[in-house]
Structure 1
Amino acid sequence: MTLSAAPHTSSDLWIPVTEEPEKRGRIFNIQRFSLNDGQGIRTLVFFKGCPHRCPWCANPESMSPRIQVIKRQAKCLSCRTCLQDPAECPSGAMEYVGEDVTLPELMTRLLKDEVFFRSSGGGVTLSGGEVLMQHAFAGELLKALRALGISTAIETAGDAPLSHLLALTENCDQVLYDFKIMDPQRARSVLNMNQPRVMDNFRALAEHGVNLLPRLPLIPGFTLTEENMQQVLDFLRPFNLAEIHLLPFHKYGEAKYPLLDKTYSMHKTKVPDAATIAPFYAMAEKYGYKVTLGG
């Protein structure tokens, strides 16, 4: 194994680089007993790293591909015992965000929930961050799960080479596909997203018979407009899909931003109420969709 040092910041750690990076994945959370993000009871694996910069992101710890360190000042004893090493922190005030796992290690952890997958028709969903940033490892994980008859799904914005997407869908029962800002220029400037590629990839997956479930976050000032919603619905019309998920804006991730020395730009944005969401729900229903809020 060869090691290389990456530029150091106050919250990032140097990264071991192996000759076979596909043999390890970098995750930051495993969420068990989820009733969203696919059918049945599911376990979500959150992969670290994302090429996009959505201002409303609820998982800001997912953005950097690096392992990071956060410090919860309220728990700090000011004892200086840790010397900024979370492993030595006696109060748990400091902690790592992110870990490297091998495929056998991760499978062992996921299979603890196998009985719930079998009994509920659930399974494992790979999320992020953007899982396509670690497509090689994710593909091996999906293949291993599928070999055991466990249902698999991924959540993605689809902004990656089509070959990476197609490779994952070979062992994937469902793709939860996010549409955000439909205007190409604004998607690029606000999100760093190649919206034409997102749409081209969706078309290609549909042509390959992939089970697609479109989702749209409803974000005030960005996607919560009739124009953006209409553009999504017009784009999806030819695919004759049965279901769409609408994801209303929330602020559940706001408290994480200062821990990562980040500014939460949505601080003054109001969470839309039911009356605000209702017209968008009705627009999707008018197109014949089964509409789910959240999910």
Structure 2
Amino acid sequence: MTSFAAPRISCEEGTSGGEEVARIFNIQRYSLNDGQGIRTVVFFKGCPHACPWCANPESISPRIETVRRESRCLHCAPCLRDADECPSGAFERIGRDITLDELEREVLKDDVFFRASGGGVTLSGGEVLMQASFATRFLRRLRRLGVPCAIETAGDAPADRLLPLARECDEVLYDLKIMDPQRAREVVKMNQRRVLDNLRLLASEGIPVIPRLPLIPGYTLNDENIQYALTLLLSFGIRRVHLLPFHQYGEPKYRLLGQPWAMDGIPAPSAREVAYFRKMAERAGFEVIVGG
């Protein structure tokens, strides 16, 4: 396999009045698909990758963005194009900076649901490893309070950034996408060798890892890619996987951002295709969840 230079991950963390801040774009409450129980998911802004099927294009840029929703627009004259001044909310800001204290207060509003369901907080993105320092400090706070913690990551960052964060987690949801290193570099700008080295490291540390395999037509939805992933996971002693079928839910977001949708017109995998790959994994000895 060909070696190649890794994409540079820049961290967007900063300070506000002396306080460390992170940039997020959403806090999603009552999620059932991002870890055990009822979860509150914090979406960090910024991602170094370029997955054509990304369902959250608003997560990619680390910058705060402003979008306009035509359906809400009153066509004021003159238009200030200011999210704070817009009387109808047609102009909307995507992204905000938040301190550790502010984020802690936000997620602990849901503490009763965590305790009742065995849920907790999941940090997602974008790519949370772009803001790993903040994320690690935040999860340490939550763990001291007894809140279960998880992250969702593609694992493409230096190990000294990933490992301290992963050690604060009860679960690491680990995305495995295009397994061939050359194609991963060309299509999604990912250092697949580093992704797999980090996965091996987490497994050797005994950190609970749940690999997630997206089923993307034209990219990962084929026997070779899935079998490669399953064989590798078995060698690491991992026996659970989530299969994530492609969907078109992200398409309206691309229109809102004025960006082309590379997967336009591509159908979701059929129930028969999903069942085929589920059976492949189960026959290999995996516990499989579809949708995860």
Aligned to 1:207: 204
Q: CA RMSD in A?
A: 1.6
The answer to whether the Cα contact below 8 Å between 2:212 and 2:241 also exists between their aligned partners in 1 is yes
State the shift of 1:90 in Å: 0.7
Asked whether the 8 Å contact 1:22–1:136 carries over to 2, the reply is: no
Q: Which whole-Å CA distance do the structure 1 matches of 2:260 and 2:119 have between them?
A: 36
| Structure 2 partner of 1:157 | 154
Partner of 1:101, secondary structure, is: strand
Which of residues 237, 253, 269 is equivalent to 2:250?
Answer: 253
- Cα pair 1:81 1:88 within 8 Å, conserved: no
Q: Residues 185-224 of structure 1: CA distance to partner in whole angstroms, max 9, x if unpaired?
A: 1100100000000000101111111111111000000000
Q: Which residue of 2 aligns with 1:192?
A: 189
What residue is the counterpart of 2:239 in the other structure?
A: 242
Aligned to 1:229: 226
Q: TM-score, normalised by structure 2?
A: 0.93
CA distance in 2, matches of 1:144, 1:62: 25
**Measured at CA, do residues 224 and 22 of structure 1 come closer, stay the same or move farther in structure 2, by a change above 3 Å?**
farther
TM (norm. structure 1) is: 0.92
State the match for 1:36 in structure 2: 33
User: Equivalent residue for 1:174?
Assistant: 171
* CA 82–102 in structure 1, closer or farther in 2 if over 3 Å, else same: farther
* Equivalent of residue 291 in structure 1, options 263, 269, 288: 288
Q: Could you list the per-position Cα deviations for residues 109-134 of structure 1 after superposition, in whole angstroms to 9, with x for gaps in the alignment?
A: 10000000011110000000000000
The alignment partner of 1:172 has SS state of coil
Gaps of at least 5 residues in structure 1 are: 1-14
What is the SS of the residue equivalent to 1:88? coil
Inter-partner Cα distance in structure 2 for 1:276 and 1:209: 33
Secondary structure of the corresponding residue to residue 255 of structure 1: helix
- 2:99 aligns with 102
The code of the aligned residue for 1:226 comes to D
Q: Cα 1:204–1:98, aligned 2, differ >3 Å: closer, same or farther?
A: same
2:251 match: secondary structure: coil
Shift, 1:20, TM fit: 8.9
Q: Post-superposition shift, 1:18?
A: 4.0
The one-letter code matched in structure 1 to 2:42 is V
- TM-fit CA distance, 1:277: 1.2
| In 2: Cα distance, 1:20 partner to 1:138 partner | 19
Letter in 2 for 1:97: I
**Aligned counterpart for 1:140 among listed residues 133, 137, 140:** 137
Match of 2:114 in 1: 117
Identical pairs, percent: 60
Q: Residue 47 of structure 1: which of 32, 44, 48 is its match?
A: 44
Distance 1:274 1:85, change over 3 A: same
The residue type equivalent to 2:262 in the other structure is S
Q: 1:21 to 1:234 in 2, by over 3 A?
A: farther
Q: What SS does the corresponding residue of 1:87 show, helix, strand or coil?
A: coil
1:272 CA displacement: 1.1
Please state if 1:87 is matched with 2:57: no
Aligned match for 1:275, one of 272, 275, 281: 272
Query: Does the 8 Å CA contact 2:150/2:169 hold for their aligned counterparts?
Result: yes
> Is 1:60 the counterpart of 2:62 in the alignment?
no
1:82: how far off? 4.5
Match of 1:4 in 2: none
Residues 138, 168 of structure 1: 8 Å contact kept: yes
Q: Summarize the Cα distance change of 1:72–1:19 in structure 2 as closer, same or farther, 3 Å threshold.
A: closer
User: Is 1:129 equivalent to 2:126 in the alignment?
Assistant: yes
8 Å Cα contact 2:45/2:127 also seen in 1: yes
> Aligned pair in 2 of structure 1 residues 179, 214: CA closer, same or farther (>3 Å)?
same
